[in-house]
Structure 1
């Protein structure tokens, strides 16, 4: 009963429960409402997402290279709480995870077959460059902004782990602050259940491919239950015993998978493509971020890809950023921001270069392309058919999909529990159980929503939903960044 007296917990769960029930009992009507609302947001705020993304990257670079970059998250003589390897493993597992497996082959090939805009670059290089753009600095800037602001409030100002703590000096109304925390929780949950829905659907697709079966929505729902249960156990164990260990295992196995494909493919071709696409990405980053002139792929393309990605990264920013802040004690803002922007981006660029370039070569060898990599949920499994040890690679991928989802869920459960348990750094385990259960319920609702009509899938439903739910948070991030600058500028020496 005591949890019912916690307004942050009870109101947030009430909203999620209401959404879940509406989807269960009015699935098609809910989808149609979401579709209408997403069109409105796209028409009036689509380009705002682009400008916000570029603004975040430039803002973080300005902070990192300014005197403010020397500010340490903790005492002046403190050292980083986690090694660079452990820190990178945890932030990457929480921040990207299963997404790089979902899109490893499908996205670069789609961009090669359907170039976003006319360019003098080879289609393969443009495809990699645009993929880098959607997975690179901007995504990590959304996370990094949150990590910086919350880390400063947590370790420098000694405030509780709540988003409202970052704007206490500018918003004194307690109801408004609670509203901000609830908005953050709801945004986090929608981003998380989107990832679980996509991940479990891909695992289902992988199982169907490996065993030549026809497993359907029931299997996807059972996978969601299994993964949520494992994630809850990891969150129950805490950061050092659960999350940290699984994250290290994830990155190690992912690296081995990457190295295997790299060594079995055209090594020199991959390296040339990686270097060329990265250089062009750096040169074209600003006009691409503004969709300016020749770099404008058009509203339809932006809606299907970039707006959706920016909404996804924004939805993940609260829990990923706060989790990164939680594990960054002892680092300076400069170390945090440059580490978050550069290290995972370079790793992601190389990942897509290896899988994308190898897929391009397969298509060239085939002579014709009949959309073999067109299904986002099975493309990587189709890809592995062309390599030795294909069965082992497929099962390794399925294992990684499960374990990456586990690390995303357990870190989110931990962060949500910190929010609702009065901002404690080590929240009550009952809160972790509550959030694990309600996240699972909401995930099952979204999977059902994705199957509401025969002509839609989970990805379509998520694209439309996230563009809506991320908007209030995107607007708030502008205010949060301004409040942070005001606070550090007026900090007493």
Structure 2
């Protein structure tokens, strides 16, 4: 037993920390929430704007690298062909990177931004609402993912390193303790980001089931959903990338496109297309001042804390496992293909998604004449929205199925990547590691859900916001170090 713990020290340390944190939350739920709340306020006050500057810097850095001479470098041998087709590649990276979040926020976020504009603007409230939603789901999110995909992909496919974040600094830092520390921090950050997604997703599924059945199924249903999703995800991760993960990813995209096209074709298509075009244009024009919160583009500290800081922390938490997963499936593509593919294609898809649902919701509100917060509940808004469309029950049931499927894809991808981390960087990790991570992710998720229900005036979303702002902070500093060493390596290669 001791030999096994020593052999897989990263697994042992990471699991030990997660298990300890889960136990503390189980037995001291309210006290845990208070500590997290106070710590998140400290991070917000001292490092909140740092998240903004980091996100903007990542977008600029990736665009510069993509269009530079370094963009021609292939991830693999010069003769390597892409391992997956463009369709399979996009399906897998999008399912792993966004997933159930686009259903959670499809209606609620654009409507909130319309009713509570982040700042005064000459743009119409509808366009400003969509623009700020685009900003929080667009280039910056995918830049965090793309950065990790590029750096890890280069280490994995060009330098033939093992699948670990510490591999990106292996040639520059020799201390084994420091490198193990980086891997452990990566794993902890990844797990917190993942359990946040599962907690939010299962709570939304419960909200949908409550809406359809006109009842309150309670906390036990949410926990039961966590157990079911974790079990199926474990089986999918057990099957591997080609058999399990790829199949679920393609299914997700097909169902997502079906829902999207149904709402699009049964709504005002002209208004949606016009909103999409205008908002995308203004998003590009205003991207820099929005990203830096300059002058009139600054929504204020409270608004940024509730929205943008939280989103940036969320994307940062997801960046290690999403980026590594994208790197794992990107062999044979050039750095330019990887970066532009990751930045542009998913962003445009997300923009169109929010244009369809946001514009359609705006038109409904306009038709009602008075808005009475019908879409204010983040967990039920999309199900209420579907009640105003034909085949509402079918749409709601399909959405619940899609939520479950998206969560399974996110969890199985993360389980696979975490297993690669802890199984000595193996590209095909031991199935034992996959089972271990499935179990401990489930325990940590249940702990988070209990945390979110510890007080009458809080919910899972608030618990997640506060937790992620804290856990993503150490990792945000590491990104700068990792990118600096990567650029240094590229410059050396070109000199040889």
The alpha-carbon deviation at position 303 of structure 1 amounts to 0.1
The residue aligned with 2:157 is 155
Match of 1:104 among 103, 106, 117: 106
The residue aligned with 1:142 is 144
Match of 2:205 among 198, 203, 222: 203
The alpha-carbon deviation at position 127 of structure 1 amounts to 0.3
The residue aligned with 1:220 is 222
Provide Cα deviations, 1:60-101, integer angstroms capped at 9, x if missing partner: 000000000000000001110000000000000000000000
Instruction: Kindly indicate whether the alpha-carbon contact (under 8 Å) linking 1:115 and 1:126 is maintained by their aligned counterparts in 2.
Output: yes
The residue aligned with 1:402 is 404
The residue aligned with 2:434 is 432
The residue aligned with 2:5 is 4
Pairs within 5 Å for 1:55-94: 55-94=57-96
Match of 2:371, SS state, is coil
TM-score normalised per structure 1: 1.00
Instruction: Kindly indicate whether the alpha-carbon contact (under 8 Å) linking 1:160 and 1:423 is maintained by their aligned counterparts in 2.
Output: yes
Taking the aligned partners of 2:54 and 2:347, their CA distance within structure 1 comes to 19
The answer to whether structure 1 residue 391 and structure 2 residue 365 are counterparts is no
Taking the aligned partners of 1:353 and 1:320, their CA distance within structure 2 comes to 25
Taking the aligned partners of 1:348 and 1:486, their CA distance within structure 2 comes to 33
Instruction: Kindly indicate whether the alpha-carbon contact (under 8 Å) linking 1:90 and 1:244 is maintained by their aligned counterparts in 2.
Output: yes
Instruction: Kindly indicate whether the alpha-carbon contact (under 8 Å) linking 1:65 and 1:334 is maintained by their aligned counterparts in 2.
Output: yes
The alpha-carbon deviation at position 4 of structure 1 amounts to 1.8
Match of 2:24, SS state, is helix
Any runs of at least 4 consecutive aligned residues in structure 1 with deviations exceeding 2 A, and if so which? none
Taking the aligned partners of 1:466 and 1:229, their CA distance within structure 2 comes to 25
Taking the aligned partners of 1:373 and 1:204, their CA distance within structure 2 comes to 16
Taking the aligned partners of 2:457 and 2:258, their CA distance within structure 1 comes to 38
Taking the aligned partners of 1:486 and 1:94, their CA distance within structure 2 comes to 29
The alpha-carbon deviation at position 3 of structure 1 amounts to 3.8
Pairs within 5 Å for 1:285-304: 285-304=287-306
Pairs within 5 Å for 1:311-330: 311-330=313-332
The answer to whether structure 1 residue 371 and structure 2 residue 373 are counterparts is yes
The alpha-carbon deviation at position 169 of structure 1 amounts to 1.4
Q: How many residues align?
A: 493
Instruction: Kindly indicate whether the alpha-carbon contact (under 8 Å) linking 1:319 and 1:416 is maintained by their aligned counterparts in 2.
Output: yes
The alpha-carbon deviation at position 312 of structure 1 amounts to 0.1
Match of 1:113 among 107, 112, 115: 115
Taking the aligned partners of 1:122 and 1:266, their CA distance within structure 2 comes to 18
The residue aligned with 1:283 is 285
TM-score normalised per structure 2: 0.99
Provide Cα deviations, 1:197-217, integer angstroms capped at 9, x if missing partner: 000000000000001011111
Instruction: Kindly indicate whether the alpha-carbon contact (under 8 Å) linking 1:16 and 1:186 is maintained by their aligned counterparts in 2.
Output: yes
> What RMSD in Å do the two structures reach over aligned CA positions?
0.6
Taking the aligned partners of 2:210 and 2:477, their CA distance within structure 1 comes to 41
The alpha-carbon deviation at position 219 of structure 1 amounts to 0.6
Provide Cα deviations, 1:352-408, integer angstroms capped at 9, x if missing partner: 000000000000011100000000000000000000000000000000000000000
Distance 1:3 1:366, change over 3 A: farther
Provide Cα deviations, 1:95-130, integer angstroms capped at 9, x if missing partner: 000000000000000000000000000000000000
Provide Cα deviations, 1:154-194, integer angstroms capped at 9, x if missing partner: 00000000000100111110000000000000000000000
The answer to whether structure 1 residue 95 and structure 2 residue 97 are counterparts is yes
Match of 1:178, SS state, is helix
The residue aligned with 1:416 is 418
The residue aligned with 2:51 is 49
Pairs within 5 Å for 1:253-268: 253-268=255-270
Instruction: Kindly indicate whether the alpha-carbon contact (under 8 Å) linking 1:140 and 1:340 is maintained by their aligned counterparts in 2.
Output: yes
Match of 1:490, SS state, is helix
The residue aligned with 1:352 is 354
The residue aligned with 1:488 is 490
Match of 1:171, SS state, is coil
Taking the aligned partners of 2:302 and 2:424, their CA distance within structure 1 comes to 43
Taking the aligned partners of 1:316 and 1:62, their CA distance within structure 2 comes to 23
Taking the aligned partners of 1:204 and 1:140, their CA distance within structure 2 comes to 29
The residue aligned with 2:237 is 235
Give structure 1 stretches of 5+ with no counterpart. none
Taking the aligned partners of 2:215 and 2:338, their CA distance within structure 1 comes to 46
Instruction: Kindly indicate whether the alpha-carbon contact (under 8 Å) linking 1:203 and 1:401 is maintained by their aligned counterparts in 2.
Output: yes
Taking the aligned partners of 1:54 and 1:3, their CA distance within structure 2 comes to 43
The residue aligned with 1:458 is 460
Taking the aligned partners of 1:3 and 1:116, their CA distance within structure 2 comes to 53
The residue aligned with 2:470 is 468
Match of 1:305, SS state, is helix
The residue aligned with 2:187 is 185
Give structure 2 stretches of 5+ with no counterpart. none
Taking the aligned partners of 1:487 and 1:445, their CA distance within structure 2 comes to 42
Instruction: Kindly indicate whether the alpha-carbon contact (under 8 Å) linking 1:3 and 1:9 is maintained by their aligned counterparts in 2.
Output: no
